[in-house]
């Protein structure tokens, strides 16, 4: 998800909602054909409302053999490519940036992808609603870095969220975190290492992209302060 921030990042401090971990939700106008997919396609592939009750990801696609979650799918290139490579895996994608949702809807439509489910909002609500030990894999790619120290509290990766991820991962389930901000990589590594249910698995060269990684347009823009850092963990 692009590195951005709301114009007043300290404005949403209501006790009734968590701090926002993401920046803008819309930038340029959405193209008409993509906008139409919000009405024609999104309702049929939307993740159930997290407020309505527990979510069993395996029940979202008949015949699925595994369930993955991608948090912050940006333009959707990575998620769509993974879905095409793994047609028996139902992949849930969460992204509050509406232009990104529109882009993924186009990828799903053009690729005829049947195994994608979308939540066009904060991922934390979905994670909290998922059944325990229901995911085989979680991918967090380029979350908003909130690189100023006073805004670190808004980072997605916090102790409580890591605990939520551990709850929904199956034993042996995998977690990948990717960022192009060095301080966030160090922050995330510390948070993940602090949870005894997660074991770091590499890569040894943290800049070495794993074989199954898909490079995205955002990644190619090189907006961070360092080359992408990859951190992989397994739920033990």
- Paired residues of 119 in beta bridges: 94
Among 144, 159, 186, 212, which one carries the catalytic annotation? 144
- Decide if 144 is catalytic: yes
134 in Cβ contact with 57 (< 8 Å): yes
Q: Are 127 and 168 in contact (CB under 8 A)?
A: yes
The span from the CA of 136 to the CA of 162, in Å, is 15
Contact 224, 179 (CB under 8 A): yes
- Residue with the two structure tokens 């980072």: 155
User: Residue 149: is the preceding peptide bond cis (ω within 30°)?
Assistant: no
- What is the distance between the alpha carbons of residues 20 and 26, in angstroms, rounded to a whole number? 15
Name the residue with tokens 């819309």: 26
Please give the structure tokens belonging to residue 104.
């993924």
Provide the token pair at 86: 């793994």
**Do residues 60 and 90 lie in contact, with contact meaning Cβ atoms separated by under 8 Å?**
yes
Where in the sequence numbering do the catalytic residues fall? 144
């Amino acid at each position: 998800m692009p590195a951005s921030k709301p114009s007043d990042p300290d404005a949403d401090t209501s006790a009734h909602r968590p701090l926002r971990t993401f920046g803008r939700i819309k930038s340029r106008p959405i193209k008409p054909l993509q906008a139409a997919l919000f009405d024609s396609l999104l309702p049929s592939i939307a993740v159930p409302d997290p407020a309505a009750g527990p979510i069993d990801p395996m029940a979202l696609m008949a015949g699925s053999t595994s369930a993955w979650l991608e948090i912050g799918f940006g333009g959707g290139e990575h998620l769509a490519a993974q879905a095409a490579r793994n047609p028996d895996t139902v992949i849930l994608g969460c992204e509050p940036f509406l232009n990104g949702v529109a882009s993924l809807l186009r990828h799903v439509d053009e690729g005829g992808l049947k195994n994608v489910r979308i939540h066009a909002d904060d991922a934390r609500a979905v994670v909290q609603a998922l059944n325990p030990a229901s995911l085989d894999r979680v991918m967090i790619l380029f979350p908003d870095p909130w690189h100023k120290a006073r805004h670190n509290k808004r980072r997605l990766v916090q102790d409580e969220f890591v605990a939520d991820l551990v709850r929904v991962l199956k034993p042996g389930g995998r977690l990948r975190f990717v960022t192009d901000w060095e301080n966030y990589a160090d922050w995330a590594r510390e948070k993940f290492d602090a949870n005894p249910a997660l074991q770091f698995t590499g890569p040894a060269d943290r800049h070495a992209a794993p074989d199954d990684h898909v490079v995205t347009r955002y990644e190619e823009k090189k907006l961070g302060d360092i080359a992408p850092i990859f951190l992989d963990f397994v739920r033990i």
